[in-house]
Amino acid sequence: MNKSEQLSDQHAGRSPHENVVKAESDGINLRTIAKTVGVHVSTVSRVLRAGPESAQSETAVRVLEVADRLGYRPNRVAAGLRTSSTQSIGVVSPRLHDVMVSILCHSIEATSRYSGYQMLLSTPPDDMGEQFRSVEFLLSHRVDGLILTSLHRDESVFVDRLRELPIPVLAANRHQGDLLPSVICDDREGGRLATEYLINLGHTRIGIIAGSRHASTGFDRLLGYRDALNAAGIEIDEALITHTDFEAEGGVIGAHSLLSLAQPPTAIFAVNDMAAIGVLGAAQQRGLRVPDELSVIGYNDIPVVAHLPIPLTTVHSPLSQMGEHAVIHLLKAIRGERPISEVLPVSLVVRASTAPPK
């Protein structure tokens, strides 16, 4: 598809002479080719842009051949200035160190690259002010569209500003009601699934570590938790609901706080896997055997949890699919289509960290 990509093989078995050519290749542009072939720049531009398959004329073939030989690499910066399309998308994604986030970004990048787009990634601190600075930064690089993976709830000021931008903006992972088109996983249903499973095992006192208050993911999973308890006719004890961050440390702290209650829970639902790992650690510290004395359930199904000494029961979020779909939707919006939202289905993965209460 892209000229320069196809050319890359050319250099594999090159002769000393071609080496010299290559050394000069920094400055190979349309004009160089035009001069070499003896045609006008615009002709070269047209031929190269049409691609090898549609090389009808004699000149076209010569142009392609010379471009190949000189190792021409199109200058997307110049093209971008002219067409005001840089073939790049900006991604604002705090907390890249979180596996869940890095898997998402991995997928976003792979899908973009496959579509001929370059990802410009910014991973600022997780507050909307910093995120908006990243947006401004990416905008100055004239990205064609934006994906934000870490929106905050109730920050309509920033969302309003995002909506005013001259390029399509898409939310992934976390959403903002209907204010921005989004591709997310069905967090509410996932929270319900996890809680319902624990209830079916016989648990009635179920603690939840609900993550950061500003994340729609944790918020929606908590809604699902309430849904399941309500459906089962179990009264909700607000003391069993605790908020922390999404790190293992938060899981440790949250678990200790829950397990120190007068009537401690027999099961804990952590709304992300890292926190669940922290819960496992806290249980160990308190001499509680998992799952016999405490059931633990996580969320997201990051790869490591299947390989823990006690493999974790968790809710599987299709993270790669979420990234892929986010890019697909964004590219459609860039091409002028009306952006649409999507909610991806999740599923429960039962492993060894859950059992009936004793």
Q: Which is nearer to DNA, 139 or 328 (CB)?
A: 139
* Least CB distance to DNA at residue 89 (A): 18
Binding mask 261-290 for a second copy (x = CB under 8 A): -------------x--xx-xx-xx------
According to DSSP, residue 227 is labeled H
45 binds, among a second copy, DNA, none (CB under 5 to 8 A by kind): DNA
CA of 3: how far to CAs of 50, 88, 112, in Å?
10, 17, 17
Torsion of CA 291, 295, 301, 304, to 10 degrees: -40
Binding mask 95-134 for a second copy (x = CB under 8 A): -xxxx-xxx-xx--xx--x----xxxxxxx-------xxx
CA of 215: how far to CAs of 174, 176, 221, 258, 307, in Å?
7, 10, 10, 21, 27
Pairing of β 313-316 and β 347-349: antiparallel
200 binds, among a second copy, DNA, none (CB under 5 to 8 A by kind): none
Distance CA 69, CA 18 (A): 8
Residues 8 to 47 in contact with DNA, rule: CB under 7 A: 27, 29-31, 39-43, 45-47
Distance CA 184, CA 191 (A): 14
Distance CA 40, CA 109 (A): 37
Distance CA 169, CA 182 (A): 9
278 binds, among DNA, a second copy, none (CB under 5 to 8 A by kind): a second copy
Question: Is 163 one of the binding residues for a second copy (CB under 8 A)?
Answer: no
Q: Which is nearer to DNA, 79 or 261 (CB)?
A: 79
30 binds, among DNA, a second copy, none (CB under 5 to 8 A by kind): DNA
Question: Is 292 one of the binding residues for a second copy (CB under 8 A)?
Answer: no
CA-based diameter of the chain, in Å? Answer: 88
Question: Is 285 one of the binding residues for DNA (CB under 7 A)?
Answer: no
Q: Which is nearer to a second copy, 5 or 337 (CB)?
A: 5
**C-alpha 29, offset from chain centre:** 36
| Count of chain residues binding a second copy (CB under 8 A) | 75
260 binds, among DNA, a second copy, none (CB under 5 to 8 A by kind): none
Task: Enumerate binding residues for DNA (CB under 7 A).
Answer: 27, 29-31, 39-43, 45-49, 56-60, 74-75, 78-79, 81-84
